[in-house]
Amino acid sequence: MEIDDNRDKGYIAVWLTNEEQKLYDQSKLTSLLLSKAESPKCKVVFFLSGSEDLCRNTEGLLLANLKNA
């Protein structure tokens, strides 16, 4: 798990692997992180690992972007 504290910009980013997604309850983690935030407008943003091949999907995305350039 990686937590990037960007409260000064209004959000806290949390990066979770597939295994960590099974271990941690996102709702409880959100409550815990927001309890330490001073701004009531602060948000918690989760980035979750997927189950597909990252290299193949990245290649497809790059090729699609080249076609649209």
| Whole-number pLDDT of residue 40 | 74
Task: Report whether 49 contacts 24 (CB < 8 A).
Answer: no
Task: Report whether 56 contacts 62 (CB < 8 A).
Answer: no
User: In the chain, what percentage of residues exceed pLDDT 90?
Assistant: 70
Q: Is 37 buried (19+), middle (13-18) or exposed (0-12) by CB count in 10 A?
A: middle
Domain boundaries, the chain: 2-68
Q: What is the pLDDT of residues 14-34, one digit of tens each?
A: 999 999 999 999 999 999 999
